[in-house]
Amino acid sequence: MQQSNLQLIHAAYRAFHARDVDALLAVLSEDVEWIHPEGMHEYGLGGTKVGHAGVKEFLAHVPTVLGGMRLHPLEFVQSGNRVVVFGTRDVTSHSGHTETLDFVHSWTLEDGRAVRMEDIFDTVLFHRLIKS
């Protein structure tokens, strides 16, 4: 089970990299919780989105706030039904300024699907980048 959970999360990052929303949704349960720090609420990127519709809405909103983003997952740690991913992301503001920022993603899986993804990062650095 743990190996298949890890493979599932790797598939999610391949989908992110390919910008393939359908492939990402195939990894997520129908009622997934997609969680970002409340400190990003000012930009419409904070809080919990629920279900495939919530994830699609979130992903569609990101380009209105950022010029681009590339995820680089570096380390995967699994324990039971949880996979924690440590990585960096190259984030570009609308003005074209790019920074590399750290992230931690905590994924919870049940029955072969992700039921929760929590994105943990420094919101102060993110705000500075968005405003640059």
Report which of 107, 126, 111, 109 is spatially closest to residue 13, judged by C-alpha positions.
107
Q: What is the pLDDT of residue 101?
A: 97
Mean pLDDT over residues 50-63, rounded? 97
Q: What are phi and psi of 83, to 5 degrees?
A: -125, 125
Q: Exposure of 7 by Cβ count < 10 A (0-12 exposed, 13-18 middle, 19+ buried)?
A: exposed
* Sign of the CA dihedral with 75 first, then 16, 126, and 95 last: positive
What confidence score (pLDDT) does residue 102 get?
98
Q: What is the model's pLDDT at position 63?
A: 96
Region 9-31: what's the mean pLDDT?
Answer: 96
The confidence score (pLDDT) of residue 3 equals 56
pLDDT per residue as tens digits for the range 80-130: 999 999 999 999 999 999 999 999 999 999 999 999 999 999 999 999 999
φ and ψ at residue 66, rounded to 5 degrees:
-125, 155
Name which of 79, 102, 69 is nearest 9 in CA terms: 79
Q: How far apart are CA 3 and CA 7, in angstroms?
A: 6
Question: How many helices (DSSP H) and strands (DSSP E) are in the chain?
Answer: 4, 6
User: Global pTM?
Assistant: 0.92
Tell me the H-state helices in 19-50. 21-27
What's the pLDDT band for 78 if we cut at 50, 70, 90? very high
Q: Are 107 and 16 in contact (CB under 8 A)?
A: no
Mean pLDDT of the chain: 95
